[in-house]
Structure 1
Amino acid sequence: MPGTDRSICQALELKGHKVTRLPYTPGKSIKLDKKYDVIFNLCDGLEDDLDFVEFQVLKDIEKTRIPFTGNSLNTIRLCNDKRKIKQVLLKKNILTPNFQVFKSDKQKLRSDMKFPLIIKPVCADAAVGIYADSVVNTEKQLRQRVKRVLVRHKQPAALVSEYIAGRDLTIPVMGNKKIKVLDPTELKYIRSFKNKPNILSYAAKWHKGRPVYKDSITLVKNAKKRFSKEEMKKIKFAAKATYAAVGCSGYATVDARLDEKGNVYVIEINPNCWIGPKSDTALTLQKNYNVDYPGMIDKIVKIAKER
């Protein structure tokens, strides 16, 4: 997000760190000397970017052997492909919605796939390619949405998953070998979402003037009152297992759904998630660690030094 790097630099300086901002030009390698103690790594991709420019940045960072915040190249590369995340979850017996990858809108729907289904780009984050009508109930709708993902967003494939109607959770996780799962935030959908699927579309996430933006409210406080002990145990277990399964380090958030039967379905994981001052993740981390924003950023640096 624009401005996040400046906010982080200011936070680091307030904690007594000397900070250098290094510009990056796509196509050119970054050259670093050994005078730095830590590199603050914010590589998280660009909207509709299928060239994955962050991969080259991370390669350059890892070559320096200087400790860095956030996640490794291997983890970022894995998590850029929702197919691969799903495959890892299945291999580790972590509950996730049934899914199928579509490389064409003419592809046959498997008989075990049950409507309603949700269609997303296979290689995108930040709700890119997710619309209010991305949940479908017919094959005709399915093929239209798959075609939109493939053509409009120029994706190599569309990820089609069974839609889980339930509570929409985001669980922050921090650490390297020692993993700490923090209290989940929950998205509450009101008013304009009545009788509609509760999904965070691109408009609901980013378009501040839209009713759907105002009507998707993040609940940060009182997690222990909003979830039973058993629910919290399942949520944190799923988040920790997912974080470890994809090899995360530093910090990430896990997106999950809690259904009416108490099952926790992992949807995806977001390494190097947005940690700008106004982000839900930053607010949750500050609350859990009882620190201000500079204190939270300093905590991330300390975790990097422990790698």
Structure 2
Amino acid sequence: MTSVRLKVAVLYNAPVLPVDHPDAVSEADVVEVAQAVAAGLENHGFESVLLAVRPPVVEVLRSLDRIGPDVAFNLIEGFGASTAAATHMTGLLELAGFAYTGSPMEALALCVSKGRAKFLLRGAGLPTAPGFVVEPGAAVPRWDWAGPAIVKPDAEDGSLGIDQASVVLDWDSACDRVVWIHATYGGAALVEAYLPGSEYNVGVLALPEPEALPIAEVAYEPVEGTWPILTYAAKWSAGSVEDRASPVLCPARIERELAETMCRLAVSAFKVTGCRDYARVDLRLDHRGEPVILEVNPNPDIGPTAGWARALRVSGRDYSATLAALARQAMGRPRMPLRASDLGNRGRGSSASEPDRQR
């Protein structure tokens, strides 16, 4: 007798940007990640169904109700044209009673604003770079630290809005960059001290207790006259000058004491921000060589070629087996009593989120 396979819906945001848009490549990447995750889960006995989510919300619920998954693997990074809406979609899964992987709505809502997360981390005694958030229409304060500043969107990820012009030497240049961010991305800008030291990222895996994965180092080899920062081109334009100038080494070439400190900071940041299952913490050394937290990403790229998966493999763990363990862990968590079927039958019209079975 053939056993019934557990069904997992692999959720990802349907791309909305035109293919010639400068930010389209980062948005399209999630499609390939979803396919890889679905295939990995299939290898470990799950029946995978890919589901690209797009407005209207009610059609997402109806599609999920039709699929009837035992668990949703949540890879949603946005909804429609809104990055922040990924948080609300996660809350919707919670309210609808679906088991799902990844961080809960509270952690996503907190960390979507780098500035708010910074204030919480600092309040918990964790080191962060000095900085401030500038809302649209607000005046840009003058900073009180010595040296340059880096200006970036407060609520975007994937290095969106970061290029060589992000590092500014004076207040006038900072004002110009803030205006550009407000006009281009429509949200607040984060202005913080530029840290001159090496950059690292630490993946965290919680099955169930959080532990740091091997540290990765961004081993910058900048072209003369450029800043050693992880720009959008460095992250998404394979083979570009900035990509070649920012190779990543995992494990990092660092002393044991520094590695232990960064791992401890990463796990502490994971806990303080309320992350769950997996996350990534980015750090950089200040002028004294001390590690400082840049940001906490509660929903990092976990595709097989991404940094988190690379660190996972360096730790000796199997990628597909880890995905399956995360899905099963999510199934065992308590859920809200409201069932998905109570919400999924609302609304009319054709489905805007058609399921596509993974072959």
**What TM-score comes out, normalization by structure 1 length?**
0.90
What SS is found at the alignment partner of 1:40? strand
Instruction: Give the match for residue 121 of structure 2.
Output: 89
Q: Distance in 2 between matches of 1:130 and 1:46?
A: 22
Unaligned ranges ≥5, structure 1? none
1:258 corresponds to which residue? 285
Contact kept? 2:197, 2:284, Cα under 8 Å: yes
Q: Return closer, same or farther for 1:179/1:127 CA change in 2, 3 Å cut-off.
A: same
Among 320, 326, 330, which residue is 1:294 paired with? 320
Aligned partner letter, 2:141: L
Give the whole-Å Cα distance in 2 for the aligned partners of 1:79 and 1:124.
10
User: Contact (CA 8 Å) 2:222, 2:228: kept in 1 or not?
Assistant: no
Task: Report deviation, 1:272.
Answer: 1.7
In the other structure, the counterpart of 1:80 is 112
Structure 1 segments, 4+ long, off by >6 Å, are: none
What residue identity is the alignment partner of 1:121?
P
Q: Identify the residue that residue 101 of structure 2 maps to in structure 1.
A: 69
Query: Is 1:38 paired with 2:64?
Result: no
Partner of 2:341: none
Classify the secondary structure of the residue corresponding to 1:19. Answer: strand
C-alpha change, 1:270 and 1:111, in structure 2 (3 Å) is closer
2:48 equivalent to 1:19: yes
Deviation at 1:23, TM superposition (A): 4.0
> 2:145 and 2:102 mapped to 1: Cα distance?
35
Contact 1:44 1:273 in 2 (8 A): no
What's the CA shift for 1:260? 5.4
| Secondary structure at 2:139 match in 1 | coil
Equivalent residue letter for 2:97: R
User: Which runs of no fewer than 5 residues in structure 2 stay unpaired?
Assistant: 1-29, 334-359
Q: Does 1:3 align with 2:36?
A: no
Hey, what does 2:240 align to over in structure 1?
210
1:197 paired with 2:211, answer no
Relative to 1, partners in 2 of residues 1:26 and 1:104: Cα closer, same or farther, differing over 3 Å?
Answer: closer
Kept in 1, the 8 Å contact 2:140–2:175? The answer is no
Residue 291 of structure 2 aligns with an amino acid whose one-letter code is V
| Structure number with bigger Rg | 2
Q: Whole-Å Cα distance in 1 between the matches of residues 329 and 285 of structure 2?
A: 30
> SS of 1:126's equivalent?
coil
Equivalent AA in structure 2 for residue 133 of structure 1: A
Distance in 2 separating the partners of 1:300 and 1:262: 35
Match of 1:181 among 194, 212, 229: 212
Distance 1:51 1:240 in 2: 25
How many matched pairs? 300
Tell whether the 8 Å contact from 2:54 to 2:79 is kept in structure 1 after alignment.
Answer: no
Post-superposition CA distance 1:1-60 (Å, at most 9, x none): 22211111111111111222334231223144595332111122379x446332342123
> How big is each residue's C-alpha offset from its partner over 1:227-257, in whole Å with a ceiling of 9 and x where there is no partner?
2121012101110111001100010100101
Distance 1:265 1:158 in 2: 20
Tell me the residue number matched to 2:336.
none
How high is the TM-score relative to the length of structure 2?
0.77
Q: Which residue of 2 aligns with 1:304?
A: 330
Q: Quickly say closer, same or farther: Cα 1:191–1:108, change in 2 above 3 A.
A: closer
- CA–CA distance in 2 between the matches of 1:136 and 1:298? 45
Question: Equivalents in 2 of 1:270, 1:295: separation in Å?
Answer: 22
Partner of 1:149: 181
Moved more, 70-79 or 294-303: 294-303
Checking the alignment, whether the CA contact within 8 Å between 1:97 and 1:267 is kept in structure 2 is yes
The 1-side partners of 2:153 and 2:68 are apart by 41
Q: Percent identity?
A: 28
